[in-house]
A and B are shown apart, each in its own frame.
Chain A
Amino acid sequence: MKTAAELKFGETGIIGDIDASHPSSRRILEVGFTPGQVIQLINISAFNDPLAFSVRGTIIAIRKNEASCIKLI
């Protein structure tokens, strides 16, 4: 299954699930990455990490490692 970390620049995806075993999963949920939400990778930092996603009308930057716990449909 594809994760948010594998999105290409400008690509959108719909969140299917959040990997609850990831230590940051709660915070990821709390900032708005929840199943069903449409997210878009809108910026990639100069060193390819972190990634900035559009989610729920705002932009949230998270590390690749954290993005990999966001499973897409």
Chain B
Amino acid sequence: MKTIILEDIPLITLVGPPNSGKTTLFNYLSGQNYKTVNYPGATVEYSISKIQKKFNFNANILDSPGIISLIPNSPDEKVSVDSLYSHPRYGVPDLIIVTVDASQLSRHLLLVRQLIESKFNVIIALTMTDILQRKGFEISSNLLSQKLRCDVVLIDGRSGEGVENLIQIVDKNIESSKLIGKKNPVVLDSNLDIKYLLNSYKEIEEIEKEVISCPKNAGEKINLKRANRQLKVLNEAISGNNQLDQSTLKIDKILLHKFWGLGIFFLMMAVTFTSIFWLAQPVMDLVDSGFGLFSYEVIKILGNTWYGNFIANGIVGGTGAVLVFVPQILILFLILGLLEDTGYLARGAMLIDKPLSKIGLNGRSFVPMFSGFACAIPAILSTRTIPNKRERLLTIFIIPLMSCSARLPVYALLLAFLFPANKAWIAGLVLAGIYILSILSSVTVAGIVNKFKNKIINAEDRSSFILELPAYRVPKFGMVITNSYHSAKMYFRKAGPIILVLSSVIWFLTYFPDYNPKVDTHNLSRDQAIELQSSVRLQHSYASDLGKFIEPVMTPLGMDWRVGVSLISAFAAREVFVSSLAMIFKVTDDKATLQSSMIHEMRKATIEGTGQKLFTPATIAGLIVFFIFALQCVSTLAVSRKETGSWRMPAIQFLMFTSLAYIFTVVTVNGLRILGVP
């Protein structure tokens, strides 16, 4: 079902601090049928939808990123604030519904005050009154409404309580403002001094005192204090409606424990990490073989023609290369979404902030770096949550060094070559070592780049870490699933076209000019003939010309043009390395035994002219090292360009990581040979 967004109906924007219940209300009003859009040229996104039919009210509703003040503190916040004043696509909103957490009234009213001062048309949706009630307090919406001179509605977006009422008031408000006509809001002076802030707070505290009351009798209040004392958690001074959620404090005692805290954190990450791979693997295999079968069928239908091959290997194969990572990305977002929704992710950022700040990063760099193990693209997209520009750029810079999952098939092949099947556990250990090496190298690079400060990253920005640790709560699965779906869709839209175009280019390079080579197909089955043909075709292709051209570069690595060609094709997507090696070494694709027959062929291969073995433990180790460092992924470069705003960053990343890879490979191969490893 597609939502049609008409621009001549009223626009209602939801505004509010993070965790105030905007998205919950938005989902209730939109029926979770929305689309997520980027502000033009920016990394900030918003969701927009029409209010569901059942509410009988025709308007667009927009969910904006959480802000705590109209005076922005980071580039992303500035985009969010600016587009409140005038949305690049929808202009000034007809009405702002600002969500206010009743249990944190004084903090959240700051934004309300600023919105009213800016002369926005505002209605307050008061959320979390249940939490306030549990603390033993009540809030009078009438009084609050009088004090602030704007409408106040109590709602609970989870159950929909109060939403009907909200709609009625919104309706009345919009009808009456139609008569007056749209007012243009005034931008707050960003140089407002601290005195102004303090004054706002003073007035807010006055209001808070009047509107919040304790309906229970005094006796119970004393009990509450005694309970607090017994728990030894809170000082008496912090009682009243400012007391904290007790279970949150208890959970934090464990999860933020001085010693256990970090251990639990790493354990949680390890579990998340392994489940990304284990849960996703069967689905990925399914996608992989599904597309394999699909392209096979395409060839069968269209024949072994150039267009048949283009559709089968360029288009279908390319789409498969994009889709194969979707399961992993979905699971990654699902788990991260759940962790975020419980409130744990903010704690994780706090735990890891200190060590990361030592190398110029930030506690908030952690989620993007972690996501980098699945795929660099969503990882780079998620750096948007880092408010400090310098730290964000540095995080983007090192993400390609995190060992993404596209490298796994490559490592699987190379490790299977090095270690026989009955010693698979050694391969497992080495794989773990590869991951650790990738973390160490990214941390080292960050440290070094940080030392050279402005030479590489062109932004000076004051480092800061101010993060609310929200109360723990049971995550909302439905919402997390919807969000994961939207994130995966975004990955697909961002990476899809690039990978598709690139795989077409690489298909072209590997297919032409000798696209219909004459081969002796005598005594061969139809499939074998096709395999032989494509192998001959590849040997005469532009890609092989390119490979031969770079052969001098490959020689110091102890490798030849054939590996060079595979490395070039791997720029479409790293795992293409495996299939292109298979093509070059004429491995007949016998699905079940592809890996073993490839290894068999690889063991036989010798370097033309010298007769030296091409694949030895030394060169294989060298290839592994190459894959650890090299930035062989055009989509990553493209996304890096998009997120940093220029080609400067991706260019430096590409040159630096690929030359590092090359140097380390030369050192590895020749070092091992000196040590006597063949």
* A contact residues vs B (CB 8 Å cutoff): 10, 12, 14, 18, 20, 23-32, 34-35, 38, 40, 42-50, 52, 54, 56-63, 66
Quick check: is B363 within 8 A (CB to CB) of the other chain?
yes
Quick check: is B161 within 8 A (CB to CB) of the other chain?
no
| Distance, CA A26 to CA B462, complexed state (A) | 13
Quick check: is B186 within 8 A (CB to CB) of the other chain?
no
The tally of CB-CB contacts under 8 A between chains A and B is 132
Contact between B73 and A27, CB atoms less than 8 A apart: yes
Quick check: is B465 within 8 A (CB to CB) of the other chain?
yes
The answer to whether residues A56 and B244 also contact, given A45-B354, A46-B258 and a CB cut-off of 8 A, is no
| Distance, CA A55 to CA B28, complexed state (A) | 31
Residues of B within 8 A of A46 (CB): 258-259, 261-262, 351, 354
Residues of B within 8 A of A44 (CB): 258
The answer to whether residues A66 and B354 also contact, given A12-B235, A26-B197, A44-B258 and a CB cut-off of 8 A, is no
State which residues 509-544 of B face A: CB under 8 Å. Answer: none
State which residues 57-101 of B face A: CB under 8 Å. Answer: 68-69, 71, 73
Contact between B71 and A50, CB atoms less than 8 A apart: no
| Distance, CA A49 to CA B107, complexed state (A) | 24
Closest to B204 in A: A34
Contact between B194 and A63, CB atoms less than 8 A apart: no
The answer to whether residues A47 and B466 also contact, given A30-B197, A34-B201, A56-B104 and a CB cut-off of 8 A, is no
Residues of A within 8 A of B500 (CB): none
Residues of A within 8 A of B107 (CB): 31-32, 56-58
Contact between A50 and B350, CB atoms less than 8 A apart: yes
Residues of A within 8 A of B249 (CB): 42
Quick check: is B110 within 8 A (CB to CB) of the other chain?
yes
Q: Shortest distance in angstroms between A47's beta carbon and chain B's nearest beta carbon?
A: 4
Residues of B within 8 A of A56 (CB): 104, 106-107, 242
Residues of B within 8 A of A59 (CB): 244, 248, 252, 468-470
Closest to B362 in A: A63
User: Knowing that A61-B465, A61-B468 are A-B contacts, what are 18 other residue pairs whose CB atoms are under 8 Å apart, sorted by A's residue number?
Assistant: A25-B194, A26-B73, A28-B466, A30-B68, A30-B71, A31-B468, A38-B237, A40-B238, A42-B249, A43-B469, A45-B256, A49-B354, A56-B104, A57-B106, A57-B244, A59-B244, A60-B468, A60-B469
- Other-chain residue from B232, B252, B354, B465 in contact with A43 (beta carbon distance below 8 A): B252
Contact between B464 and A66, CB atoms less than 8 A apart: yes
As a 0/1 sequence over residues 344 to 371 of chain B, the CB contacts with chain A under 8 angstroms (1 = contact) are 0010001101110100000100000000
Contact between A26 and B464, CB atoms less than 8 A apart: no
Closest to B240 in A: A57
Quick check: is B1 within 8 A (CB to CB) of the other chain?
no
Closest to A53 in B: B469
Residues of B within 8 A of A31 (CB): 68, 107, 466, 468
The answer to whether residues A45 and B351 also contact, given A18-B194, A25-B194, A35-B198 and a CB cut-off of 8 A, is yes
Quick check: is B426 within 8 A (CB to CB) of the other chain?
no
Quick check: is B305 within 8 A (CB to CB) of the other chain?
no
Closest to B253 in A: A43
Closest to A42 in B: B249
Residues of A within 8 A of B467 (CB): 50, 60-62
A-B contact pairs, 30 of them (CB 8 A): A12-B235, A23-B462, A24-B466, A27-B464, A30-B69, A32-B107, A34-B197, A40-B238, A42-B244, A42-B249, A44-B258, A46-B261, A47-B354, A50-B354, A50-B363, A50-B465, A52-B256, A54-B234, A54-B242, A56-B106, A57-B107, A57-B242, A58-B244, A59-B248, A59-B469, A59-B470, A61-B465, A61-B469, A62-B465, A66-B464
Residues of B within 8 A of A27 (CB): 73, 464, 466
Quick check: is B247 within 8 A (CB to CB) of the other chain?
no
| Distance, CA A49 to CA B349, complexed state (A) | 11
Quick check: is B487 within 8 A (CB to CB) of the other chain?
no
| Distance, CA A29 to CA B357, complexed state (A) | 23
Interface centre among A18, A28, A31, A59 (most CB of B within 10 A): A59
Contact between B353 and A49, CB atoms less than 8 A apart: yes
Residues of A within 8 A of B466 (CB): 24, 27-28, 31, 60-62, 66
